[in-house]
Structure 1
Amino acid sequence: MPPPCTHPANNCKHTACNSAQTPPDGCPARGRFRTSSTGRREATLSVGSARVCGVDELVERVDDHDRVLGAVVSRRQAIREGWLHRVAVTVCREERGRILVHRRSEQVSRFPGLYEVVVGGAVRVGESYEQAAARELAEELSIRVLPRLLFTFTNHSGLSPHWLGVHEAVVPDTVAADADEVAWHGWLAEPELRSALLEWRFTPDSHEAFSRYRAFRAAQS
């Protein structure tokens, strides 16, 4: 296993930048936003000498029972206001049972350089949890598979509260990771992963999702 990442979680001193909100005027990380053809707000930000490409996705607000409210907002706004929305993640296993772990690119806007035990992202407008999970696997790892939704829960770790749908998928042990999203990836047996979760810097979602995932599997056995 590679050594744990020591990169600081955030480069910018502005609170708004560190919480994935739009940077304030005068901040070196502020950039110009544009709306893409898919309805996402995109920006190229400058942080020091680095240029960071970020995407502001459109999501649907949901209530405490995970019911869609009919309000479409940007994910940045949902995070800023603490509005519940949906996120889909997948625990990826290969045939021998090892679990895929990856380190996030230094260029991503949220939790750069941290490790993750799940692959995923926000559920876009009109998507189901399963559709969002499948899309994220295709985008980040070039894997075409429909993950199985195991459970959902209200996750209060991370940047803001959200409903998290945890999936599982058996995938090939050779994946083509998107270099813009993934800096490193590897396969760990569960004992190795449990040690890594104590020693490496993982995203908050990884700890919460994997803890519940292990409990779910134990209850099913």
Structure 2
Amino acid sequence: MAVGYELKASPRDRVGKGAARALRREGLIPAVIYGDKKPALPIAIPVKETTVLLHKGGFMTHLGSIEVDGETHRVIAKDYQLDPVRDDLMHVDFLRVASGATLTVEIPVHFLNEEICPGIKRGGVLNVVRHAIEMTVPADAIPDAIEIDLANAQAGDSIHISAVALPKGCKPTITDRDFTIATIAAPAGLKEEAEEGEGEDEGNGED
């Protein structure tokens, strides 16, 4: 199972605000590893290295490897807390990941070929309804992104999940409707042309 990052951690014997402040003075922050039917493991991880990983992107969708006292844990970050004033990283929750497991994660949406999209070239605007899609994915094959090709998208088009080629083994958690991911909003002039055309067709039909 490939991993996107590696961290070294030490076990935490003390918990609470006082212990957390002491850790931060040493350049560490509290974290916990839980799940896979094993006891939760409180740990301390380096704040500088972890902050870099957080801002690099993909922290919540890439598998990680954390070494604690010589034992390696395969994990994925499930939650983190920031200081409400300074935005400093304060705490991270990691979920243990067993080989062959499936995970529920939010996968970012990337749009391709915006520069040649016919609808955008005619003055339309890409309106993104969902910047990420919650999906069930194989733990050992988490996609970096869901890619949507706009090369043939026209003004007025809506892009639904059913029209997207999803990576193997990946399924959206919303299954009861064909939800919209994005639309190409038509410019006002194009809308008026379309409405005038419809009006003419109706008039011809009456004759």
TM-score bucket of the superposed structures, by smaller chain: under 0.3
Task: Give 1 or 2: higher strand fraction.
Answer: 2
TM-score by length of 1: 0.26
TM-score by length of 2: 0.27
The higher-RCO structure (CA 8 Å, 6+ apart) is 1
In our comparison, the structure showing a higher alpha carbon Rg is 2
